[in-house]
Amino acid sequence: MLTRTDYGGKEADVVRALEEDIIFGRLAPGARLVEDGLLARFPVSRHSIRQALYQLEKLGIVTRERNKGAMVRRLSSEEVRQIYEVRELLQRQAALMIPLPASAALIDELMEIHSIYSAHVDANYLRGIHEANDRFHLTMLSACGNAYLVSSIEQYMRLSLPVRANSLADREKLEVSRQHHCFMIEALKRRDNWVLAQLCIDHLQPSKAFYLQEIGKSEEV
């Protein structure tokens, strides 16, 4: 899987800035990414801009079409359903494979990450919320012991970024997310993997349901 460490320098700065704009809704799904506009914004060469757009396409959050250029990926209702079908399958399987009760070291690590996540929620620090949330889930699911499964989970987490972004600025959804994290930590202390797996699936639903509701309105027009 491609990660930010696969590229660097000026392209990495552009990728990070545009990814953040997409995650936090400053660039809406379907928004065009015009090279001349990006050149005016970033002090880099046209080659660097094109490389950054290529990396964003590889990450799954930008699409590029001949004669149309690049734009923020806009997922259809069917694409969202298919992506989340895969996410649910992968995360359920990983949760079922985690040895329970989990080690004290894993519990302590997740509690520390959750504390950081909660602090970012209270401070309304969106970048911190996003990064701590992903770190929490990948740390927990990595306990399944299958690196290839975890890599696939991370890939589909990234593909679903346009869907997940709506939760970052919604206080009610963030409180639900914070509560789910606590439930997961408690489930890890026990022996029922099916309870943990269901919590992982339930955690995916609010942002998916909201996105499908919003995209449904636009598809009806």
pLDDT on residue 65: 82
> Taking the chain (221 residues) in consecutive chunks of 10 residues, what is each chunk's mean pLDDT?
47 86 81 92 91 87 84 89 97 98 98 97 90 96 98 92 78 92 98 97 92 73 50
Write down all domains in the chain, each with its CATH number in brackets: 4-72 (1.10.10.10), 77-220 (1.20.120.530)
pLDDT on residue 218: 62
> Pairing state of beta strands 62-65 and 69-72?
antiparallel
pTM, entire model:
0.81
Round to whole Å and give the CA distance between 65 and 4: 23
pLDDT on residue 3: 40
- Residue 87 CB-density burial (10 A; 0-12 exposed, 13-18 middle, 19+ buried): buried
Round to whole Å and give the CA distance between 16 and 3: 11
> Is-contact 48 14, C-beta < 8 A?
yes
Residues sharing a CB contact under 8 Å with residue 75, sequence separation 6 or more, in sequence order? 29, 83, 162, 163, 211, 215
Between vectors from CA 130 to CA 83 and to CA 122, what angle results, nearest 5°? Answer: 135
pLDDT on residue 2: 37
Round to whole Å and give the CA distance between 86 and 63: 21
190: left (phi over 0), alpha (psi -120 to 50) or beta: beta
pLDDT on residue 220: 56
Q: What are phi and psi of 33, to 5 degrees?
A: -110, 90
pLDDT on residue 167: 76
pLDDT on residue 4: 40
